[in-house]
Structure 1
Amino acid sequence: MSGLQLQSGLGLLALTALCWALGGFARPPWRLLLAGLGGQIVLGAALLHLPFVRAGFSAIGRGVDALATATRAGTTLVFGFLGGGPLPFALMQPGADFVLFFQALPLILVMGALSAVLYHWRVLPLVVGGLSRVLRAGFGLSGAAGLSVAANVFLGMVEAPLLIRPWLAGLSRSELFVVMVAGLATISGNMLVVYASMIASVVPDAAGQLLAASLISAPAAVLVAGLMVPGMAASREAAEPMPPRLYDSTLDAVLKGIGDGLSLMLGIMAALIVFVALVALGNMVLEPLTGMSLEGIAAWVFRPLALAMGVPWAESGIVAASLGTKIVVNEFVAYLEMATSGGLGLSERSRLILTYALCGFTNFASLGIMLAGMGGMCPERRADIIALGPRSLLGAALACCMTGAVVGVLTAP
């Protein structure tokens, strides 16, 4: 094991200890620790190093390429050269023909429809049910909490809790926290496809890597949440809840999926415009007064987390700044910066660690969306949901960094 891998291992233990301290040094839950740390390492080793799993990653990548090509056919028809069609003029600057809204974001529409169809055909519920049973066996989660955490590997931070809406009110405070942390520590399938298409040029097998990140972050989220808010096994259901029927037919699933995707796409567009503008405005105020930008401040604040993941000192400032962009703005902008800068000038190992650490809806805008959505689903627990909100954002950030540290342990320089 190299020095940097040892640094990642010690950082993983340090992040675990920090979560335990934030939970008030409660009696160590040994089952949770063993299942959480062991599950991340075993899952990470399998996903990163088993040949047949790596082959599966390549297949996922080809699937993402196929989706991107199919989507480009639609955007070219509707938007012409803005959507990726042939240019009617000579390109003077490489990359200037890429228009984010017309070329990348429409993938959300296609994935929204496809996800809805897979749900209606019971493919997603079958996969999620299997993951849920693994989480229940390993961590002692209730069926409802386990189902929500498992669903977060593929669904968003509002859609996954929606599957267990009838059981939300009966969850213990700790299990409610687990649901919230898992929602912010993972990404949805439609955004996975978008991010993979964005960073494919700088991260090999990008789609498979992001799927692996979301899978590893599931046990990480349960571990972090159980340490920060102890008492996870307080509620139990006799049986695993059945996912509700959401669509009347395949055509209904397609149409509703398109509508959900459109709402998400417009929401992302609006959030990008507003939050990038707010950051720019903040920099206009800060830089004349302090000589530092928000990104520069983040590079110092988050540097210990970058070091804990096993990033060398020379690259830790860049990784920390990207983590700050993810939390202050969102992970979309962080991945976009990675793609447009050729990988931020990072080594291959540090770039891979950062790819995994960025893979989560860990930002203030997503927190607001989750609080509004879950509060509307379960008004009787609104006070608990709001009170746990800031801690869930912190917990999700630490869970994503744990995932980055696991990759650091398993990846040689």
Structure 2
Amino acid sequence: MKYAIFLAGLAAVFLLAFLVSNDRKKIKYKPILIMLVLQFIFTYLLLNTTVGLTVIKGISALFEKLLGYAADGVNFVFGGLANEASMPFFLNVLLPIVFISVLIGIAQHFKILPFIIKYIGLGLSKVNGLGKLESYNAVASAVFGQSEVFISVKKLLGHLPKHRLYTLCTSAMSTVSASILGAYMTMIDPKYVITALVLNLFGGFIIANIINPYEVKDDEDIIEIEEEKQTFFEMLGEYIMDGFKVAVIVGAMLLGFVALISMINDVFNMAFGMTFQTMLGYVFAPIAFLVGIPWAEAVSAGTIMATKLVSNEFVAMMDLGKVSEGMSERTIGIVSVFLVSFANFSSIGIITGAVKGLHEEQGNAVARFGLKLLYGATLVSILSAAIAGLFL
């Protein structure tokens, strides 16, 4: 039964992508099949083998240590502000982003990250049927984030045709930045965070190959990575401030979204006898069922999935923590994988703003295909959740 549901879910994702394809005749099925097989292999290794669990435990232990160092800084500045034994979300989950951002800056300054990103991107371009720039951008998005990544290729933005720009934006929205991985790992099991990162990387290429197929000529496929010359301490200052800005922005968005959802839930409860999130849960229940969640848990899981789409992944992860005791471990795993991406309505504005700040015309182009961008990135999340469900 599990395999039949997975095949139905996989067929549904591919059909939904196929229906909005820009050019169905140009879809390259071989790269799609190769990447699907790679997703199966990596998911099995990460979730069901000793090697995979060792890797995940190692990464988890590393981030746990890094968060411990970050806590030293937070406690020095804010020690005594919080009540004893309490766990303020902003201090313990968001502020450590500052320290992780600093580490990314150091790796960038000493040319470690550019080397890794460039050559992983080149390797991926051999199997994904897309260009070197698209492959580079997908890996870079998983490090820098959905808005910052465009700075690294800003010289190329004005020369990119709209179809290539769509693929770059899909990668940016389908992944998550390394600076907030630690924050996610305090809210959901690290093994699901790592698994989702790998699945979304390949899933973004798969969906882009269906929705937005095209050929890239060799003379068009040039990667120019924008690098600013800074001293070490200039870089430290910049990344510290960038990390703090991200923490404050996420905190502000959480404050606004949680308050707004609370108000809307109250209004819907008075008008219809059910909350807005519960209503969304019924809408998303079939999707939850198709990714492998038992029907008995489909509405509650669908509510969390819908919450992520209309607000953001942090709000959804907080809600998952509140209801997880009533869910099976398999359902928690599938939903957790679905949540690890930037695919939500607010990301349309974030990416549009980032591109528009670098190139006005291209930013307007992103705004025009914004809904289709979110549609594709959401299909990536559904595909990742379905594959995770197959191995849980």
- The alignment's TM-score, normalised by the length of structure 1, stands at 0.88
Deviation at 1:44, TM superposition (A): 2.1
Equivalence map 1:13-412=2 (5 Å): 13-23=11-21, 26-27=24-25, 28-82=27-81, 87=84, 97-199=86-188, 203=189, 206=190, 208-231=191-214, 233-234=215-216, 236-237=218-219, 240-341=222-323, 343-411=324-392
SS, match of residue 94 in structure 2 = coil
2:10 corresponds in structure 1 to: 12
Distance 1:53 1:65 in 2: 18
Matched letter for residue 140 of structure 1: G
Detail structure 1 runs of 4+ shifted over 6 Å in the superposition: none
Segment drifting more, 307-316 vs 73-82:
73-82
1:94 corresponds in structure 2 to: none
Distance 1:265 1:337 in 2: 19
Q: 1:35 to 1:380 in 2, by over 3 A?
A: farther
Distance 2:146 2:123 in 1: 20
Q: 1:62 to 1:12 in 2, by over 3 A?
A: same
Distance 1:252 1:409 in 2: 47
- The alignment's TM-score, normalised by the length of structure 2, stands at 0.93
Distance 2:209 2:41 in 1: 20
CA deviations 1:56-113 (Å, max 9, x no partner) are 2111111111112112222222212446xx82xxx6xxxxx11111221111111111
Contact preservation (8 Å) 1:4, 1:311: no
List runs of 5+ in structure 2 lacking aligned partners. Answer: none
Deviation at 1:239, TM superposition (A): 5.8
Q: 1:139 to 1:216 in 2, by over 3 A?
A: same
Aligned length: 391
SS, match of residue 246 in structure 1 = coil
Q: 1:25 to 1:146 in 2, by over 3 A?
A: closer
| Superposed CA RMSD | 2.1
Distance 1:304 1:58 in 2: 33
Contact preservation (8 Å) 2:278, 2:300: no
Distance 1:236 1:314 in 2: 52
Distance 1:301 1:236 in 2: 45
Deviation at 1:255, TM superposition (A): 1.2
Identity of aligned residues (%): 24
Deviation at 1:191, TM superposition (A): 1.2
Q: 1:24 to 1:197 in 2, by over 3 A?
A: same
Contact preservation (8 Å) 1:82, 1:99: no
Contact preservation (8 Å) 1:318, 1:344: no
Deviation at 1:238, TM superposition (A): 6.0
Deviation at 1:25, TM superposition (A): 7.5
Distance 1:212 1:73 in 2: 29
Deviation at 1:247, TM superposition (A): 5.0
Distance 1:179 1:24 in 2: 16
SS, match of residue 24 in structure 2 = coil
Contact preservation (8 Å) 1:298, 1:321: yes
CA deviations 1:363-403 (Å, max 9, x no partner) are 22222111111122222323321111111111111101100
Deviation at 1:38, TM superposition (A): 2.5
Q: 1:57 to 1:30 in 2, by over 3 A?
A: same
Matched letter for residue 176 of structure 1: L
Distance 2:220 2:22 in 1: 31
Distance 1:126 1:351 in 2: 36
Deviation at 1:50, TM superposition (A): 4.3
Segment drifting more, 390-399 vs 280-289:
280-289
CA deviations 1:151-181 (Å, max 9, x no partner) are 1222211112222222223333222111111
Q: 1:191 to 1:247 in 2, by over 3 A?
A: farther
Contact preservation (8 Å) 1:71, 1:107: yes
Matched letter for residue 197 of structure 2: S
Distance 1:133 1:171 in 2: 19
